[in-house]
Structure 1
Amino acid sequence: MTDLTSLEPLATFCGKCDCGCPQLYVDPAAPVEQRVVITDDFGQQVRMSADQFSSLVDEAKSGRFDAIA
């Protein structure tokens, strides 16, 4: 896993515990297609472009994921 100290934190999901909550980062040194980083509480990460992340946000705003929550 990448050293997270070089990433710019944007959001922590949950944050009500100290279990290593999922987080959203920007990696300014990464290639454009891998700049957005989402980590989970198991030490894994997903990297995507800003365009891909924007598409994910648009889907969430439209209610597409409401049934999951």
Structure 2
Amino acid sequence: MTTTNVSALQSVATFCGNCNCGCPQLFVDPAAPVDRRIVLTDDFGQRVQMSADQFASLIEEARAGKLDGVATA
């Protein structure tokens, strides 16, 4: 895994934002290869990198309700 300085990424969204716990965040890394340009970070310091197409597929699945049960699992 490549370590990327989060300050060099373009922030898109923060998921929570009601605290100071290091909330999960969504970034775009314009300097990354196309297949790793979308970056999701969590409050444990981990990250997932994926292509914009993979992220769009994830969003489509969420909109279709396929992830609705995940939050209660």
TM-score range, shorter chain: over 0.9
Aligned to 1:40: 42
The separation in 2 between residues aligned to 1:5 and 1:22, in whole angstroms, is 15
- CA RMSD, 1 decimal: 0.7
Segments ≥4 residues shifted beyond 2 Å: none
CA deviations 1:7-54 (Å, max 9, x no partner) are 000000011100000000000000000000000000110000000000
Unpaired runs of 5+ residues, structure 2, are: none
TM-score, with structure 2 as normaliser: 0.91
Aligned to 2:24: 22
Identical pairs, percent: 62
Unpaired runs of 5+ residues, structure 1, are: none
The separation in 2 between residues aligned to 1:19 and 1:35, in whole angstroms, is 25
Letter aligned with residue 67 of structure 1: G
